[in-house]
Amino acid sequence: MAGMVFLKSNGATFSSSLYPKLALAYPGLRLADLRGEFIRGWDDARGVDSGRALLSSQEATGVAVTLGGFSGYSGIDIEDYEAGKAHPTYAVYTAQTTLTSTGTTYRKVRPRNVAFNYIVRAA
């Protein structure tokens, strides 16, 4: 459309006098840096991804796969925990690490992402 201006979401600053409506959405006068990030729709109190602030980053999740790590146990457990967060029964882990004492291997399965507020132009 004629007269429309598009800016890259690359963390750049912008002028509030040139873009006053954009300044309302980004009061810090800096666009989000979405380069190389997956965009995850902001929860906005829906309860699907509660506690996330708009434009906050989230690390990839890890899956714990236990392969007979305990005597008398030969099953496979798959659990979902975010890298760097405390596992309920193990210490904080780093993605793609094997803990030899438990036989547990962690892999990243949800990509890191940024909470973004999808909007549509209504006028």
Q: Which pLDDT tens digit goes with each residue over 11-49?
A: 999 999 999 989 998 899 999 899 999 999 999 999 988
Rounded CA separation 6/102 (Å): 52
Number of residues written out for the chain: 123
Determine whether 64 is exposed, middle or buried from the number of CB atoms within 10 Å of its CB (0-12, 13-18, 19+): buried
Rounded CA separation 123/120 (Å): 9
> What's the one-letter identity of residue 79?
E
Q: Which pLDDT tens digit goes with each residue over 45-74?
A: 999 888 899 889 988 876 665 554 445 444
